[in-house]
Amino acid sequence: MVRFVLVLVLLIAIAVLVVFVVGYNKIRAADVRVDEALGGIDVQLTRRASLIPGLVSTVASFAAHEKAILDHVTTARAALASSTTGTSVAQRSAAERDFDNAVGQVLALGQTYPQLNSSTNFLNLQQNLADTEDKLAFARQYYNDAVASLNRTIGSIPWMFVAGPTGVGEREYYQTPR
DSSP character at residue 63? -
- Which residues in the chain come in under a pLDDT of 70? 62-65, 117-118, 177-178
Global pTM value: 0.77
Q: What's the farthest any 2 CA atoms get from each other in the chain?
A: 93
Domain boundaries defined on the chain: 27-166
27-166 to CATH, choices 1.20.1440.20, 3.40.630.10, 3.40.50.2300, 1.10.10.60:
1.20.1440.20
Angstrom distances, CA of residue 27 to CA of 8, 13, 56, 146: 28, 21, 44, 11
In this structure, the number of other CB atoms found within 10 A of the CB of residue 29 comes to 12
Inter-residue contact 155 to 56 (CB < 8 Å): no
Say what the pLDDT of residue 9 is: 92
Distance between CA atoms of 178 and 96, rounded to whole angstroms? 9
